[in-house]
Amino acid sequence: MLKQSRTISKMQMLFSIACFIQASMLLTSFFTPVGGSSSWLAVISSYLVFAVFTIPLIMLIKNFPDKNLFQINAIVFGKVGGKIVSAIYLIFFWTLSSLNTKDIGVFLQQTVMTKTPTYVTIFFLMFLCAWATRKGLSVVTRYASFFFGVSMIIMIFSFIFSYNLMDFSYFLPILDIEPIRFIQTTNVSLNIPLGEIIFFLMIHPEVRDINKNSGKVVYIGSFMGMLNILLVVIHDTAILGEAGKLFTIPTFETLRMISIGDVLSRVEILFAIMLMLLLFFKISFMVYVTTISIAEILEIKDYRRIAFITAALVYISSYIQFNDSYIHAEFGITVAPLIWTFIEFFLPFLTLMIFIVKQKYKKGSEQTA
């Protein structure tokens, strides 16, 4: 039987990155309460910082086009050191997967399925994610462009429909917050949607010709995703202003307000569908990465065989991570930016530096020999 190649194209990776970042639009509520009306500026500045901070990631991809992050760690840090660093990443991947799973559970309970317990809603979602993981990366990423297109259309439409509700004076005065708050917002926005692309370092060996134009793929993909986040932040601030802080899902509230004559109302259901699409993609991708990470660290030959186990792990831990959603939110604003920055940007940077130093040392010793 002819089998399709397991690799994916660069275009698929680009849309996957865009879709992955865009899926975090639900999490804008992490930083909008901090940044207030200046959040949109923080999003832009976070992208600029991201553009610089991503250079080590791209360099790693270019230097190791056929090695995933864990294999790179093993090369750079040695066998034991590599395992320890990889374990840090694994805990990070696992935590993020379960946190996102928890988020979709909470979102569903707040909006669509108010009476159904999250145990049930998430169970089916995790089953689907595990199933998709078993089918392979090409299945997980194939519909990214489709999801991206659909959500972009929905976002633009909702932007247009809610134009009459917008009051741009909410943006004034610009930067009327303490500098530390602005930095904090930038840091949260840098880590939570953008920095999560560290997940892609686990799958880049499966992308065809990734050593060419990898920077372009990462930058364009993340820009497309960021643009959507920015759109959401501007949209929410322009409609709700400072009141946006009061809501857990401000966008949902803004869309609820749309009513064009008697013709068009209850547009928020479109937003709910869009978020479900995006989060489904994001979580299935995260479960996929967690699965291959576990398989890689434990040296299990076929990752597909532990997909359901990983899904169970993520499912259970999504209840255990933070018992209180208030602590979850607090963690996201206060501590997470620091830990995340360490894992998402500092560790890869360290890896790259050690690799470069090792290379130079090797060259030097070769020359002297």
Partner 1 sequence: MIFYASVIFLLIILVEIVPFFKEKNKKDGIKASIVLLFAMIPAYLFFSNIKVYSPMYLMYELFMWLGWHYPALG
Partner 2 sequence: MLFKALNRHIKKIISSKEIKAENEWEKQNSCPIYSELIGVLDEDLNKIRGIVGTSLDIKVTTFNFGENSELNGAVIFVDGLVNQELIAQSILQPLKLFKGNEIYMPSKPCDVVEAVRNCVICSADVVYEESPAKLINAFMSGDTVFLIDGFKRGLIISTRGWDKRGVTEPQSESVIRGPRECFTENFRTNTALLRRRIKSSLIIEHMVIGRKSQTSVALAYVDGVVNPEILNELKSQLEDISIDALIDSSYIQSYIDHNPFSLFATVNYTEKPDVASARILEGRIAIITDGSPFVLTVPMLFIESFQTAEDYYVRPSYATALRILRFISFMIAIFAPAIYISLTTFHQELIPTKLLFTLAEAKEGTPFTAFIESFIMVFAFEILREAGLRLPRPVGQAISIVGALVMGEAAVSAGIVGAPVVITVAITAVAGFVVPSQTDVVTILRIISMVFSAFLGGYGFTLVFFAILIDLASLTSFGVPYFEGLIPARNVQDSYIRMPIWTMKTRPKSLSGVDDIRRGKTKNN
Residue 289 interacts with partner 1 (CB under 8 A)?
A: no
Nearer to partner 1, 113 or 300 (CB): 300
- Of residues 119 through 178, those in contact with partner 1 by CB under 8 A are 119, 123
Q: Which of 1, 316, 30 minimizes the C-alpha distance to 196?
A: 30
H or E element that contains 259: strand 259-260
Size of the site for partner 1 (CB under 8 A): 41
Interatomic CA distance for residues 369 and 366, integer angstroms: 5
- Of residues 5 through 64, those in contact with partner 2 by CB under 8 A are 11
Q: Minimum Å distance from CB 18 to partner 2?
A: 12
- Of residues 26 through 55, those in contact with partner 1 by CB under 8 A are 33-34
> Do 18 and 165 meet the contact criterion of CB atoms below 8 Å apart?
no
Residue 161 interacts with partner 2 (CB under 8 A)?
A: no
Residue 330 interacts with partner 1 (CB under 8 A)?
A: yes
Residue type, 93: F
- Of residues 244 through 273, those in contact with partner 2 by CB under 8 A are 262, 265-266, 269, 272-273
Q: How far is CA 277 from the centre of its chain?
A: 14
Residue 313 interacts with partner 1 (CB under 8 A)?
A: yes
DSSP for 303-315, written as a single string: GGGGHHHHHHHHH
Write out the two tokens for 47.
Answer: 């992208």
Q: Which does 305 bind (CB under 5 to 8 A by kind): partner 1, partner 2, none?
A: partner 1
Residue 181 interacts with partner 2 (CB under 8 A)?
A: no
C-alpha neighbours within 13 Å on the C-beta side of residue 279: 26
Write out the two tokens for 115.
Answer: 């009476």
The CA-CA-CA angle for residues 194, 112, 245, to 5°, reads 50
> Do 303 and 291 meet the contact criterion of CB atoms below 8 Å apart?
yes
Q: Minimum Å distance from CB 224 to partner 1?
A: 28
Write out the two tokens for 83.
Answer: 């395992």
- For partner 1, the binding residue among 16, 95, 111, 214 (CB under 8 A) is 95
Residue 79 interacts with partner 1 (CB under 8 A)?
A: no
Residue 308 interacts with partner 1 (CB under 8 A)?
A: yes
- For partner 2, the binding residue among 55, 112, 312, 350 (CB under 8 A) is 112
Residue 109 interacts with partner 1 (CB under 8 A)?
A: no
Q: Minimum Å distance from CB 316 to partner 2?
A: 20
157: CB partners within 8 A, 6+ apart: 267, 270
296: CB partners within 8 A, 6+ apart: 68, 70, 71, 86, 303
- If one counts every other C-beta atom within 10 angstroms of the C-beta of residue 361, the result is 10
Residue 309 interacts with partner 1 (CB under 8 A)?
A: yes
Residue type, 160: I
Which residues of the chain form contacts with partner 1 (CB under 8 A)? 33-34, 91, 95, 99, 119, 123, 180-181, 184, 187, 294, 298-301, 305-310, 312-313, 315-317, 319-323, 327, 330-331, 333-335, 337-339
Which residues of the chain form contacts with partner 2 (CB under 8 A)? 1-4, 11, 108, 112-113, 116, 120-121, 124-125, 128, 131-132, 135-136, 138-139, 142-143, 145-146, 149, 262, 265-266, 269, 272-273, 276-277, 280
